Structure 1
Amino acid sequence: MRGARALTAVMATAGYALITTHASAAYAPHEKTYSTASGFEFTVGQRDVDARPVPALNGMPTNREVFLDNISYGKVPAGGTGHLKTGFYVGCQADIDAKLHLDPELDLNPAITAHAGLDTSLGPHAGVDLSVGPSVTGGIGVDISIAPGKIADVVAGEKDLPGDGGTGTLLIQDFHLMVGGCGGQLTIRPYTLVRADSGPDGGSGAVYGDPITL
């Protein structure tokens, strides 16, 4: 019991709050059409953005997990070429990697190391080491470390657009974003970028979704 009380006090002192499940909330669509001086036009947009936070699998309050949806699209005129890219900018309010050294009375498995930097090595008392360096994992094969004060660009998908005047669409569904070692507020901003070219003319444009705050 003494170890459990000590751990609770440490977490309260560090100012962390446990993350609970929130209801799903859809966000506003965004679309823009760009035009060059010669009249070459291309369109970029995104819609059906949604975020479904879930409690961290390992129970760490400095870990955040959320499932993200997004439909991105782009359109270039017939005879042109284009490329679409979509993803999420991710930033923590406080870049903290909290390593909790647990009291032996808690009787945890010392072989388990959590994604957020949980050190379960047995020590004489509970304590907290604070060091910079959150990490971001998105989908499959994306693993990024965030330097202090930086924002991570997590790419969710890319595709070439049809050169027939039609609209190309990229569906992102249940994109699993995990952020470890994040203190305070986590903010996610979805984006969609289109690069277009017609030979003599070309350009790029983007839309940015409303911030998602966890």
Structure 2
Amino acid sequence: MPWLWAAALLVLGIGLAWALLFSPPDWQQGETVRIMYVHVPMAWLAMGGYAGLAIASVLSLVWRHPLADLAARELSPVGAAITALCLATGSLWGKPMWGTWWVWDARLTSVLVLFFLWLGHAALVRAFEEPERGARAGAILALIGVVNLPIIKFSVDWWNTLHQPASVARLGSPGLHVDMLYPLLTCASGFALLFAALVLARVRSAVMERRIRGLELASARRHEQGRFSEGAITS
């Protein structure tokens, strides 16, 4: 964990300084394009994180792995926060470019659905007194929501939208000049490392909490057994 936190802060610091201070402005968007260095990594992480949630859900449903349940449970709040940042920065970017904070564009609407899926999973896994029931229900919801990922990815190709098409992950050469592409990829790497550090820290805390509860339960059982034995001897 210390190495991961250090790598995340170092790479992210370099990426943000490179993007905000040294990368050139766009010839059309001007300085507004710098929102891209946060917005685009947030969008990638929102989708990639949900794919990770789906994988954890498969591990939970098929192999009943308890660590997969914990990972999914702790992943969803971080994913919801990441998706909220994606929507917020996209809105800030859309106002000067489109003249409005929000449009019911196919890409924007599908990302909003993704945000609600993250929130729904986070609420559902915590809605039951029995953690196993919540984990099963959350896993089913996560797998149903996977259908939204290709809709987000290909919405700009399938429908006529205001959102620009892919500029980096596309066949052929990227649409960004290397002066913008390299700081963007550095920022994305830093945010990805930070995302991983946050999720692993939450999972580690959840594992320790479960261990403590297990020890408390075992101690309470031994105490009850001791009282029962003392009562039987007295009788």
Q: Which has the higher contact order (CA 8 A, sep 6+)?
A: 2
Q: Which structure has the highest strand share of the two? A: 1
What's the TM-score once normalised by structure 1's chain length? Answer: 0.28
What's the TM-score once normalised by structure 2's chain length? Answer: 0.26
Say which one has the larger Rg: 2
Q: Which structure has the highest helix share of the two? A: 2
